[in-house]
Amino acid sequence: MSTQSSRFEFDPGFEDDRLRVAWYAVVGVLVAVGAYATYLRITGGMATTNLTSIVPWGAWVAFYIYFVGLSAGAFLVSTMANVFEVEGMHRIDRDALFAAIISMAVALLFVWIDLGRMDRMYFPFIWRQLTSALSWEVHAYVAYIGILVTELYFSMRIDLARIAERTSGLRQTFYTALALGRLDTSEGSRSFDQRWLKRAGIVGIPLAIFMVHGGTGVLFAVSKARPYWNSGLFPVIFVISALLSGTALVMVVYVLRTRLFDGDSVDPDLLDRLAQLLIGFIIVDAALTAIETFIAIASVHPHEIETWQVIMYGPMSWSFWWFMVGFSWVFPMVLLTKKAWRRTPSVMVLAGLSVVIGIIAVRFNIVVPAQIMPVMEGLPHGAYFPTLVEWGTSIGMIGVGLLLYTLGAETLPLTPLTGGDH
């Protein structure tokens, strides 16, 4: 029995208490800043933003598609374990799913704050429009979150049951409730869970690729009025860059949580595998973006060319060169080339964070530049940089995401109790 209980040792949460306090303090500050900014936003209305009728979509929309991308990417990484059963990936299955859920929640917060009428956020479920990509998206997001939660449940249920078995009182009730009362830890119940996990994953893959993230790309691509977005390649690039950011996020989360929460050492083989995936996605993402740029320039459509000029040489070109090219492609690529580095957790965290931050610029460069050029000659050009309120609310909502994630990581068995591959 003693071997049994040490095998199922469950002690989630920070290893180091001082780190815990420091981390919650940081997150607390972010949330407090966000709360104040949100207060300003709600009382001052949309006038607190730098948005105009010429550039009606800004930072919030950029962050919204960014988090949708993170979520879809992280989810697809999780399917490698639970659908495609890639060797050695089970360890990060739950990490990926949980990160995907939190990202989606944050994405919806961004959609919400961006509405001119925040009080009418439920209207899309009352009135619909078959031809509206946005109408479809809203429903796809809900279905997708449902799939994610279902998957996480089936992936984690057996461990929840094991914990419930060995705890008592309030904690037992809590974990029993999370397991929805199914406390069977037999082999039979485990394979039942695995089966359903896989089924949910199979439904989730097309949903994530085509509806959730591809669909978000379609949202922009159907805009004939904006030639820069109106391209067939656009939704594809959207999915690839989502995979890129999602993989990077999972890598960062895996290393940090293993080190700081589990106090374990990182599995270098798994890290290497994730790193190689990252290399592949960087190459495809950069190549597709180059092709897209080439098509745009070869089309000699003045609108397209000028938009690319805005991106590459305009006042915000630093975001393209430093963040998009530098942080999301070149810098991580350099770190990823050496095999020894790929097996070094700290270097990979750096590479992962670099991508995760760089892709933010990718999203901004999708949303904003296409609106700078007027839709008709004679109408004014746009200009946009987020206000402090926009930055503050964004930071706050990211803080909420971090808080939710940390709370989850401190209570849930995100690391399989049996140690990895089932």
Partner 1 sequence: MSTTDDDTLPGIPNVGKADLDAMVENERPDPREELADVEADTDLGVAMAEDAQRVARGELTGDQYWEKYDEAAADEFGEAYQETPNPAVDAGDQTVSTGTAESLSCAVGSMDTVAAESAQVEGEEPDGGIGAGDEKWGMVIDLQKCVGCDSCTVACKSENRTPPGVSYNVVMEEEHGEFPNVTRTNVPRPCMQCDNPPCVQVCPVSATYKMDDGVVNIDYDRCIGCRYCIIACPYGARYFDFGENYDDEVDEAGELTSPEYGVDRGPREEGKSPIGNVRKCSFCTHRLERGEEPACVETCVGDARNMGDLENPDSDVAQMADSSRAFQLKEDEGTDPNVYYLK
What residue ranges bind partner 1 (CB under 8 A)? 45-47, 51-54, 56-57, 114-117, 120-121, 123-124, 126-129, 131-135, 137-138, 219, 222-226, 371, 374-379
Shortest Cβ distance from residue 399 to partner 1 (Å)? Answer: 24
Q: What stretches of 207-301 show up as alpha helix (H) in DSSP?
A: 214-221, 233-257, 268-298
Q: For residue 68, give the nearest of 101, 103, 95 by alpha carbon.
A: 103
Show the tokens assigned to 79. 């399917």
Shortest Cβ distance from residue 224 to partner 1 (Å)? Answer: 6
Shortest Cβ distance from residue 324 to partner 1 (Å)? Answer: 22
Residue number with CB closer to partner 1 (101 or 133) = 133
Cβ distance 98 to 406 under 8 Å?
no
Residues contacting residue 65 through CB under 8 Å, at least 6 positions apart: 107, 216, 238, 363, 366, 367
Residue number with CB closer to partner 1 (134 or 357) = 134
Show the tokens assigned to 259. 């080190």
d(CA 257, CA 336): 21
Q: What stretches of 83-132 show up as alpha helix (H) in DSSP?
A: 93-114
Residue number with CB closer to partner 1 (181 or 302) = 302
User: In this structure, what DSSP letter does residue 382 have?
Assistant: P
Q: For residue 97, give the nearest of 414, 397, 360 by alpha carbon.
A: 414
d(CA 231, CA 84): 31
Residue number with CB closer to partner 1 (54 or 333) = 54
Shortest Cβ distance from residue 140 to partner 1 (Å)? Answer: 12
Shortest Cβ distance from residue 48 to partner 1 (Å)? Answer: 9
Residue number with CB closer to partner 1 (120 or 166) = 120
Residue number with CB closer to partner 1 (84 or 385) = 385
d(CA 48, CA 60): 13
The identity of residue 244, as a single letter, is: L
Residue number with CB closer to partner 1 (37 or 77) = 37
Shortest Cβ distance from residue 71 to partner 1 (Å)? Answer: 20
Shortest Cβ distance from residue 305 to partner 1 (Å)? Answer: 18
* Cβ atoms < 10 Å from Cβ of 124: 19
Q: Is residue 126 classed as helix, strand or coil in its secondary structure?
A: coil
Shortest Cβ distance from residue 375 to partner 1 (Å)? Answer: 5
Residue number with CB closer to partner 1 (114 or 292) = 114
d(CA 65, CA 111): 9
